[in-house]
A and B are shown apart, each in its own frame.
Chain A
Amino acid sequence: DVKVTQSSRYLVKRTGEKVFLECVQDMDHENMFWYRQDPGLGLRLIYFSYDVKMKEKGDIPEGYSVSREKKERFSLILESASTNQTSMYLCASRPQRAGDRNEQFFGPGTRLTVL
């Protein structure tokens, strides 16, 4: 069964802290994504990666960076957390050659609160 796991379900950090969110997929997918989800705004793409060590900015990359050293792992880094980064963070993966469904597989999410 397809699985995307995220390191924490809930996280509370202080303003200015460096925050690491980890995502691991066991499906050998090439593409991985980080989104944030806020009420009324839907999911917004922060960064994505289509291969190891490759990364591309999404729609809202400011204040974030990413790392993909291994195919199965995609990390989101908040260099200096701020209160406006309080959100639900969702990781997703997708194979490069997708079948008819062409869907992304999502992890359970990390609810981050920055105080």
Chain B
Amino acid sequence: EDQVTQSPEALRLQEGESSSLNCSYTVSGLRGLFWYRQDPGKGPEFLFTLYSAGEEKEKERLKATLTKKESFLHITAPKPEDSATYLCAVQFFSGGYNKLIFGAGTRLAVHP
């Protein structure tokens, strides 16, 4: 079954305490893996797209990496403004279309 699982469901960090969020997937024929950030009451905002194992992308305190079965979103020295829900989504080809499946997200809270 095509599935995307994110862990942990929730994460509480102190400001400056680095950590990683995990996104594991079981799909055939990965076309792309996406990370989004979602603030409360708002729509998701795009962060990264990764296409192949070994690929890495960075933006400020965030770095996304990809293997054949999972992706990590590393947060280095987080600040309170990094608090949000982080969503992972996987795109693959199915039934003649590119399908996109989202994970349930990881709620990150960074405390001063």
Which residues of A are in contact with B by a Cβ distance under 8 Å? Answer: 4, 9, 35, 40-45, 56, 90, 92, 100-109, 111
Evaluate contact between A103 and B42: CB separation under 8 angstroms. Answer: no
Q: Is the interface of B mostly helix, strand, loop or mixed?
A: strand
Tell me the bound Cα distance from A47 to B87 in angstroms: 20
Which residues of B are in contact with A by a Cβ distance under 8 Å? Answer: 4, 9, 32, 34, 36, 41-46, 49, 87, 89, 91, 97, 99-100, 102-105
Tell me the bound Cα distance from A9 to B105 in angstroms: 22
Tell me the bound Cα distance from A108 to B46 in angstroms: 13
Q: Known: A56-B97, A90-B44, A109-B42. Is A103-B34 also a contact (CB below 8 A)?
A: yes
Report A5 CB to chain B, min CB distance, Å: 10
Tell me the bound Cα distance from A92 to B36 in angstroms: 13
A and B contact pairs by CB, cutoff 8 A, 23 listed:
A4-B43, A40-B9, A40-B104, A41-B104, A42-B4, A43-B89, A44-B102, A56-B97, A100-B49, A101-B46, A101-B49, A102-B32, A102-B49, A103-B34, A103-B46, A105-B46, A106-B44, A107-B43, A108-B41, A108-B42, A108-B43, A109-B42, A111-B41
Report A59 CB to chain B, min CB distance, Å: 8
Evaluate contact between A104 and B100: CB separation under 8 angstroms. Answer: yes
Chain A residues contacting B91 (CB-CB under 8 Å) are 102
Tell me the bound Cα distance from A75 to B29 in angstroms: 31
CB-based nearest B residue for A39: B104
Chain B residues contacting A108 (CB-CB under 8 Å) are 41-43
Most central of A42, A90, A100 by chain B CB within 10 Å: A42
Evaluate contact between B103 and A42: CB separation under 8 angstroms. Answer: yes
CB-based nearest B residue for A106: B43
Chain A residues contacting B102 (CB-CB under 8 Å) are 35, 42-44
